[in-house]
Amino acid sequence: MIRSMTGYGRAEGDVFGRRLAVEVKTVNHRFLNFTARLPPDLQRFEIRFLGLVKQTLQRGQVNLYASWDSGADDVPPVHVNQEAAERAAALLRETAEALGLPGEVRLEHLLAFPAVTLPALDRIDPEDLWERVAALARRALEELQRFREREGADLARDMAGRLDTVERLVDEIDRLRPGVVQAYRERLARRVEDLAREVPAQDLEARLAMEVALFADRCDVSEELVRLRSHLAEYRELLSAGGVVGRKLEFLLQEMNRETNTTGSKASDAGISRLVVEIKAELEKLREQVQNVE
């Protein structure tokens, strides 16, 4: 099935004692464009997140967010670097003695040194950490794909209905097409008197036949209608095949618009012109829908 480029997926779980949430949001974009908003301790994995996205998606604006649970019960595990604490304590005592300052070194003084307390994640093997984080990212992407497939199914149903409408209008043009030449023949017959003054009587019938033949050739849209039907059939095949077909559908719509415009310019008939306008309206609605197909 086809997939929409609009979607949302989310997953959360435990990562070495902390709760991590990963969200992925997508909207339409001509190419694959990726942005990530990550907490500082996960920013080193941004390229790897992009790699996961490329395994799943091919088009769309992809926004990935990862965040640790900021609830009151979530206290980030930390590691106390005892060697750094001892060096900090010695440095404070030396400084106090050098400046002749009273007082003792207290715990809060040591905690002011960033190197004394480190997040516990910094002590975990990066590959082990990535595996836990990547598992959540994959779950979020799987949910995103299910969302995009549901949206794609809705798009496919809507487009199939519009294709049926366009085909009905094409059939109506084909039905009216022979009458255009006949109507011209009748209009031309009413000008016989004018032509009779310009053309010898023996040549009048031949002149009438030539005029009608030239007009019929100028206004013949049979080839355009054949190509329109071919494009409609190919469009339906792509919808059935599914996958990444958005650009192919865009190209087909361009071709269908071209054939429709040619039909409108060649057919000198008010009824056909009205049907051409209706076809173009449906093609424009299809174009809007296709903008969101991966």
User: For 229-245, what is the HEC assignment?
Assistant: HHHHHHHHHHHHHCECC
Q: How far is CA 173 from CA 9, 39, 101, 218, 260, in A?
A: 46, 61, 99, 16, 11
DSSP strand pairing (78-80 vs 117-119): antiparallel
CB-based contact 208:195 (threshold 8 Å): yes
Residue 136: the pLDDT is: 97
Go through the chain and tell me how many residues it has: 294
Residues whose CB is less than 8 angstroms from the CB of residue 103 and which lie 6 or more positions away in sequence, other chains included: 96
String of b and e for 60-78 (b: at least 16 CB within 10 Å)? bbbbbbbebeeeeeeeeee
In this predicted model, what pLDDT tens digit does every residue of 46-102 receive, in sequence order?
999 999 999 999 999 999 999 988 654 554 556 566 777 788 788 888 888 888 778
Q: Give the residue ranges of the chain where pLDDT is below 70.
A: 70-81, 114-123, 180-219
Residue 165: the pLDDT is: 96
Cα 229 from Cα 167, distance rounded (Å): 7
Residue 175: the pLDDT is: 86
Residue 72: the pLDDT is: 42
Q: Residue 90: name the closest of 63, 120, 125, 116 by CA.
A: 116
> Exposed, middle or buried: residue 32 (CB in 10 Å: 0-12, 13-18, 19+)?
middle
User: pTM for this structure?
Assistant: 0.71
Longest dimension (CA), the chain: 132
Phi and psi dihedrals of 244, rounded to 5?
-90, 95
Residue 5: the pLDDT is: 95
Which top CATH class is 7-74+124-149?
A: alpha beta
Residue 290: the pLDDT is: 94
Cα 219 from Cα 224, distance rounded (Å): 11
Residue 53: the pLDDT is: 96
